[in-house]
Structure 1
Amino acid sequence: MQDAAERAVVRAIDKMRNNLSEQLTVDDMARAAMFSKFHFTRIFQRVTGVSPGRFLSAIRLQEAKRLLMTTNLNVTDISLRVGYNSVGTFSTRFTKSVGLPPTTYRRMGGYTGRISTQQISTGTATVSGRITMDSNDSPPGLIFMGLFQHRIPEGLPIRCAILDTPGHFRFTNVPDGTWYLLCHAMSGEVFRLQPKNVMVATVGPLVVRVRQRYEVDAQLKPVSKLDPPVLLALLDARKAAFERQYGTSSTPAIAA
């Protein structure tokens, strides 16, 4: 059962989702949550792991992804619908967060054929552990997992991999820094990102230092309104699975 803080944050998130084309302020969100501006910002950060403004930006781009896949609206119209007055600013932010320009994302059906990693100098730390899930939940599809700089899975991870099923993982040569382990699994079509077919897990922040070994466990759970959207374009899991099974690709479907 949600506590009072979570219910307040859900009210603010509903306000965001219902007014994406408007220029919402933190005051507007705080009023929807029925908290003071200062108290609201602290509570929102605690519950979701990100600031209200960052969460709003993420759901704007999440809605843009949906519109690109389910409508014939052009990029300019979509940018206006999700609150951007400049199509150039929208395209730049979409590309940086999703990993593909809006038109490419639409052309590729919402998937990407490959997820690269950031070109950060190789480190010496190791992050390993186990991904689990509740026995009552339905089996997920392939599980994407990566180490990211921020709580929202966007842009390029520093390390990433795919698991066929929940189980053990291991990242080596992890650079020094503060990282988040973000995981998601999805069954069904990419544009039908509903709670029933998306599972997520988050661990962090992980403060990684030279030559250290870190053991972390993460449990997949159905995505909720309180989870920041997954902005990174999803790997074409069907193609990746085929290539991994039959060895039809000369390059890996995903870099780790």
Structure 2
Amino acid sequence: MENEIEQAVLRVVRSMHENLSEQITIDDMARTAMFSKFHFSRVFQRVTGLSPGRFLSAVRLQEAKRLLASTTLTVTDISHRVGYSSVGTFSSRFTSSVGVSPSRYRQLESVTPQIFVEGRPVTSGTRSVTVRGAISSPLKDRPVFAGLFPDRILEGRPVSYTVLPEPGPYVLEDVPPGEWHLIAQSVAAGHEDAVNHAPGGDEALCIGRHGPITVRLDTETKLADVQLRPMRPLDPPVLLALRDLLFAGTARRTG
């Protein structure tokens, strides 16, 4: 039964990728899955970790990243191709999720480390909370990004992050109170510039999650280990562009 549910959700995810320019409704998705709307929403959230609408939005923005990096289409044309009727709404959501505006992303093709540094919380005068543990990965000797996010998706600014030159122990400091998802990512050599990972999965991109992790100021340290695995088609798209950070990890290892 569980495999049947995953196959139904996978049909919906593939339909999202194939019909991004269309106005896809929750009713459309439920019909594709062949479930009632209420049941579909519940199982989609359980399988992917995100609501159907949130997942669709991430798929739209992932395709926008690919088009910005690989075509000369205008931002307006791209916004329409990925299903936005308002270029202003598209630009706002892209900037919030990726960290830079669509135009700036096209110039950089990645988010720079400074953007993440600016997004770290100011914790001066408060008790410091640390999250630490170990990250293992099938991609040996490859840089690993690890950050704490409010949801199970790599988007927006992490509340704390680190880049390891290779899998191993990590430490995230100055973590504010709240419930956070630890997400780690690594990319195989030669794939750092990849901006579109196929909906069928990608062995070159590995990802791992742990959480939610509840952080309180009366706790000094939280322990959380992460095992990375190849990206699956049911994993939420990676919206942050981490190429510069991963290159930085490579530079520290080889420099």
Distance 2:215 2:113 in 1: 29
Conserved 8 A contact 1:140-1:199: no
- Deviation, 1:64, is 0.2
- Deviation, 1:15, is 1.2
Structure 2 residue identity aligned to 1:208: V
1:40 equivalent in alignment to 2:40: yes
Distance 2:127 2:231 in 1: 32
Distance 1:13 1:232 in 2: 20
Conserved 8 A contact 1:110-1:190: no
Q: In structure 1, the residue corresponding to 2:203 is in which secondary structure?
A: helix
1:242 equivalent in alignment to 2:251: yes
Which residue is 1:203 aligned to?
210
Q: Which range is displaced more, 194-203 or 151-160?
A: 194-203
Unaligned runs of 5+ in 2: none
1:131 equivalent in alignment to 2:132: no
1:193 equivalent in alignment to 2:197: yes
Conserved 8 A contact 1:123-1:175: no
Which residue is 2:9 aligned to?
9
TM-score by length of 2: 0.88
Unaligned runs of 5+ in 1: 247-256
- Deviation, 1:151, is 1.3
Distance 1:240 1:8 in 2: 39
Distance 1:190 1:144 in 2: 16
Q: Aligned ranges for residues 111-122 of structure 1 at < 5 Å?
A: 111-114=111-114, 115-116=116-117, 117-121=119-123
- Deviation, 1:120, is 4.9
Which residue is 1:251 aligned to?
none
1:222 equivalent in alignment to 2:230: yes
Distance 1:23 1:192 in 2: 22
The 1:123–1:174 alpha-carbon spacing in structure 2 relative to 1, beyond 3 Å, is: farther
Distance 1:201 1:105 in 2: 25
- Deviation, 1:225, is 0.8
1:30 equivalent in alignment to 2:30: yes
Query: Among the aligned pairs, what percent are the same residue?
Result: 48
Conserved 8 A contact 1:190-1:234: no
TM-score by length of 1: 0.88
